[in-house]
Amino acid sequence: MAVAVMHLRKIASMQMEFCAARRLLSAILLRPRRLTSLMPTRTFLPTRTHHYLSHQLPCCGLTANKCTHCHPSGSAMKSLQSMTLFSTKADNVLSFDNNESELMQYLDHLLDEYNVTTLKLSSVGEKSDDEIHKLNKIINNLGLLVARIEKMKEKRTELHELTAIIADVSQSGQEMVEMAELELKNVKEELEDLEQEILMMLVPYGRADEHDIILEVSAGVGGKEAMLFTNEIFNMYNNYAAVKGWSFDVIEHDPSDMGGLRKASAIVSGQEVYRHLKFESGVHRVQRVPQTEKSGRIHTSTMTVAVLPQPSEIDVQINPKDLRIDTFRASGSGGQHVNKTDSAVRIVHIPSGMVTECQQERSQLKNRATALKILRSKLYQKELTEQETATKMKRKLQVGTGARSDKIRTYNFNQDRVTDHRIGCNMHNLDAFLVGGEELDEMIDRLLMESHKEELLELLLEYKDSIKSPKVASKSGCS
Amino acid sequence: MAVMLNRQLRRMFHQVHGLSAERLALSAAVVSAGISCGCLHTRKMHRVNVLSGARHNYSEDIHAKKFLLSESGLNHCQVSVQRCVWTCKEETSWTEHRVNQPSGRARLCVDNSVVGAELLTSLDLEPMSVQECHSRLEGVFQACDVSEPHQSAQYLIAHTLGRKTLHGVDPLTVLSVSQLQDLTTLSSRRLTGWPIQYVLGEWDFRDLTLQMAPPVFIPRPETEELVSHVLDDPVVKNSERFIEVGCGSGAICVALLSERPQLFGLALERSAAACRLTTQNARTVGVEQRLELLHRTLEPRTFQEKAFHEEFDFLVSNPPYIKTADMDHLQPEVVDFEDHDALHGGDDGLNVIRIILQGAAHILKPNGSIWLEVDSGHPPLIQTFVEDDRSLGLTYEKTYSDFRGM
């Protein structure tokens, strides 16, 4: 004895005559429910609105959300300048000095494309709206970048002129040389800034970068010690979220006795959460003498972190027919006949076999919404991973490959050192690191930069391949 | 706990003889515990039975730890107590005491409360962790045949900690003695079969937390979906006024008003207790300005009133829809504690639904909607009813089965 909801309507008088016709359609329709989210996503989360204020970039004067060309994170900009990881001088591909480098070729290509498009737009002749729209889109995408490139070229020319003046003292005269030297310093600085900006603008914003995420932690090998470690890592991310001004809402928390954590997950929301935390996925390894150890031997334990971007409904379409939703009622009675307080919900996505469940709340509807949200994230993650593995280059920094046995980071307490194996980065002061403050932020910055570099390289390699083949791909950098 | 009960019981029973029937009510738990504590004699018990008449009362006095029951509950109590007394005399085991009322419907597990009370006494001896408390309480509930022992224990412990569920609570959290005492109070009530929602006095409905009080009908998860369907309807987005029949605790109308700030609602409700609860809930959620409540029983002529003519954009209701035959097979928590007027819909379950459908056209604007939660067998009957009688002025739109597709 299940329950049904009936929708009836009062006939406006004109329609009375059509009643008979309607009778023919009188089968009871089991209409698949539109699984729209019940209310704005935010309502289900306790409303702690922390706004992460990103820096306004000088390049376009627009803030992060509006400018898709410039990498919005002020901290990343700062890192680029202060760190040498992104050194363009070392890499031939990414060299601005060498006119034959892939980078310069690519930049020239972009300039060409821009000019061609501008000509086309201003040319006389019949153009369909669609065409105009396409051309405009290219102009918009490239506009700012092209401005930067041209400015950069200007500065380069200036640089050469100034260098020439300085080199030839006899020709120029002492005064001129001194002025030139001062100018040179300024020009060099400006040039560096421009080059960095261009490098940032070349790589488009990641598809999921702005999304909120579901962060899942689970203890791995090592028993109680692993569970204690899992708890510490979960707290680390909790604090990091607070530092960044994100909200951190625990949706699952499965502790063990003695202060350990078997499994937990939280919804982290704010600005660019996924972008920052996407490289935290994987196996984290700890090496230390456990609390429970009496003889002082060092143990190695692991825990796993999974980061699932939370897509909106447009990103991931779920057909209600593909879902099997299980609740406490195995069969039969419901509604007024029964009063059950077990509100656990499990959703099985039949095509992919993914299962999510939630029993967090007293309201079954809320649990269902949360379970659906988690399912959506998992499916999205799967999609993203599939996309990533389709890229040509073998990247050091892969996002959620699914190869969960990849150890990404080791926390060695004896040597007070945390090592990220993907970029070979070592940092000290482990206690501070686990607090989830600046130290973790720094490591994440390095990871982001390395990832950015890889994306850029890949972009250029693809371009290189495309010009080799007879078909010229007219792909612009910021699309 | 046993010691406390003894003293209080003795005090209470000294008062018993001086009190009139109207002012006395005792719960089976307390009485049985009294018997087990040996402070009651059979003769006194009989006098208690006679004195405790048939008054219908739902108030609470925490200081004297008195738990009050419905009229039917009291009847059970009388009979059960007699049974217990005899059993006590005969010294047989407590386990199987299912008492059947003449109607064959009701039962109350007095024995549970006895066993339970004894088991519960061990709970507040010393502070213990949430984990241990949960497993022990679950054990008590299980031993006493309380339905959903795991969830019940969870919700009760969470409530003493000021939370809704135990998720996110460190299982090593220690409960203080006073918290354990609160817990014991709640648990002994649960042991007598009280639904959790009544024990806690509140429950969640969609995004809201609403007050609950016996015997007002407790909103079901299926009704959360009814509200979803209503809110999904594009017509509702442009609606101004709606009417709800049988609002009970006010779950549907308050949820609609809170999620659609432009709506105004009128609710009809026959039970005074339910009216009070709806007003309270509307006030807590902050929508009482937009809700008009009429304490009235729905009759065929109710909708004919001039004031209601074509007033409403839609009508929504979760009317009593249980068939007479099914009333005997309901879950004990439901039949023993919730208002039968909110459940029983006549022999075919359609009595109230028929009245609604007969008058709906008069009160709805043209193309206005009706949203009803009904029993699974009803849709074809209702559809036929609506299509065969064109004078009703209604057309059938759709049926949504619950989300499990059954």
Domain ranges of chain B: 21-80+215-401, 102-200
Name residue B288's amino acid: E
pTM of the predicted protein model: 0.63
Give the pLDDT of residue A85.
38
Of A31, A259, A339, the CB nearest to B400: A31
CA-to-CA dists, residue A135 to A106, A121, A198, B204, B319, angstroms: 20, 7, 22, 54, 61
Structure-token match 């962060």, residue found:
A215
Report which secondary-structure segment, H or E, holds B42: helix B42-51
B324 and A CB contact within 8 Å: no
Helix, strand or coil, per DSSP, at residue B235: helix
Mutate to test the interface with B, among A6, A263, A323, A370 (most CBs of B within 10 A): A6
**Cβ pair B320, B373 in contact under 8 A:** no
User: Which secondary structure element, helix H or strand E, spans residue A22, and what is its range?
Assistant: helix A19-23
Pairing type for strands B364-375 and A425-428 reads: unpaired
pLDDT of residue B84: 32
Contact state of B382 with A252 under an 8 Å Cβ cutoff: no
Q: Is residue A13 within 8 angstroms of chain B, CB to CB?
A: yes
Q: What is the CATH number of domain B21-80+215-401?
A: 3.40.50.150
Asked if B343 reaches chain A (Cβ–Cβ under 8 Å), the answer is: yes
- Return the pLDDT at A405: 64
The predicted structure's pLDDT at residue B383 = 92
pLDDT at residue B288 in the model: 94
Residue B116: per-residue pLDDT: 54
- Partners of A255 in beta bridges: A261
User: B80 vs A64, B27, B30, B75, B169, CA distance in Å?
Assistant: 72, 11, 13, 8, 40
CATH 3.40.5 fits B102-200, yes or no: no
Q: What is the pLDDT of residues B284-342, one digit of tens each?
A: 999 999 999 999 999 888 888 878 888 899 999 999 999 999 988 888 888 878 888 89
Q: Are strands B264-269 and B241-245 parallel, antiparallel or unpaired?
A: parallel
SS3 A219: strand
Q: How confident is the model at residue B226 (pLDDT cuts 50, 70, 90)?
A: very high
pLDDT tier at B122, thresholds 50, 70, 90: low
Q: What number of residues does chain B have?
A: 406
pLDDT at A392: 54
Q: End-to-end alpha-carbon separation of chain A, Å? A: 55
CB A283 within 8 A of CB A302: yes
Asked if B397 reaches chain A (Cβ–Cβ under 8 Å), the answer is yes
Q: CA-nearest residue of chain B to A361? A: B165
* B75/chain A closest Cα distance in angstroms: 23
Count of C-beta atoms within a 10 Å radius of residue A128: 8
Interface probe, candidates A1, A8, A265, A365, chain B, greatest B C-beta count within 10 A: A8
Residue A335: which of B232, B373, B387 has the nearest Cβ?
A: B373
Measured CA angle at A194 (ends A193, A200), to 5 deg: 90
User: Which residues in chain A (335-354) have CB-CB distances under 8 A to chain B?
Assistant: 335-343
For residue A79, the SS3 value is helix
Of A468-477, B146-155, B196-205, which gets the smallest average pLDDT?
A468-477
Contact between B379 and A6 using a beta-carbon 8 Å cutoff? yes
Q: A330-346, pLDDT tens digit by residue?
A: 556 788 989 989 999 99
Q: Which residues of B touch A2 (CB under 8 A)?
A: 376, 401-402, 404, 406
Chain B within 8 Å of A330 (Cβ-Cβ)?
no
- Closest residue in B to A266 (Cα) is B168
Give which of B252, B272, B271, B274 is closest to B263, Cα–Cα. Answer: B252
Are B85 and B105 in contact, with CB atoms under 8 Å apart?
Answer: no
Phi and psi for A324 in degrees, rounded to 5?
-115, 120
| Mean per-residue pLDDT over chain B, rounded | 73
Residues of B with Cβ-Cβ distance to A31 under 8 angstroms: 398, 400
Closest Cα in chain B, distance from residue A334 (Å)? 8
pLDDT by 10s per residue, chain A, length 479: 468 889 988 887 654 444 444 443 433 333 333 333 333 333 222 222 222 222 323 333 333 333 333 443 444 444 344 333 344 443 566 677 777 777 888 888 888 888 888 888 888 777 777 888 888 887 887 888 888 888 888 888 888 888 888 887 777 778 888 888 888 888 888 888 888 888 877 777 676 778 888 899 999 988 889 999 999 999 999 999 999 999 998 888 888 878 889 999 999 999 889 889 988 988 999 999 887 777 888 889 999 998 888 877 677 888 888 888 888 765 567 889 899 899 999 999 999 899 998 888 999 999 999 999 889 888 888 887 777 666 655 566 665 544 556 789 999 998 999 999 888 889 999 999 999 889 999 999 888 888 888 888 888 887 877 777 755 444 444 43
Residues of chain B with pLDDT > 90, as a percent, come to 39
Chain-chain contact of A12 with B366 (C-beta, under 8 angstroms): yes
A267–chain B nearest CA distance, Å: 14
B401 — contact with chain A (CB < 8 Å)?
yes
Judged by CB atoms closer than 8 Å, whether chains meet at B402 and A2 is answered as yes
For residues A66 and A73, give the distance between their C-alpha atoms in angstroms, rounded to a whole number: 13
- CB of A230 within 8 Å of a chain B CB? The answer is no
Residue of B nearest to A347 (CA): B404
User: Which residues 54-83 of A are in CB contact (within 8 Å) with B?
Assistant: none
Decide if the complex's ipTM is over 0.90. no
Cα angle: B322, vertex B328, B334; to 5 degrees: 70
As a whole number of angstroms, the distance between CA A54 and CA A66 comes to 12
Strand order in the sheet with B312-317: B291-295, B264-269, B241-245, B312-317, B364-375, A3-10, B394-401
The answer to whether the CB of B186 falls within 8 A of the CB of B116 is no
Distance in angstroms (rounded) separating the CA atoms of residues B386 and B406: 23
Can you tell me which residue has the tokens 């600046």?
A438
User: In chain B, how many H helices and how many E strands?
Assistant: 16, 10
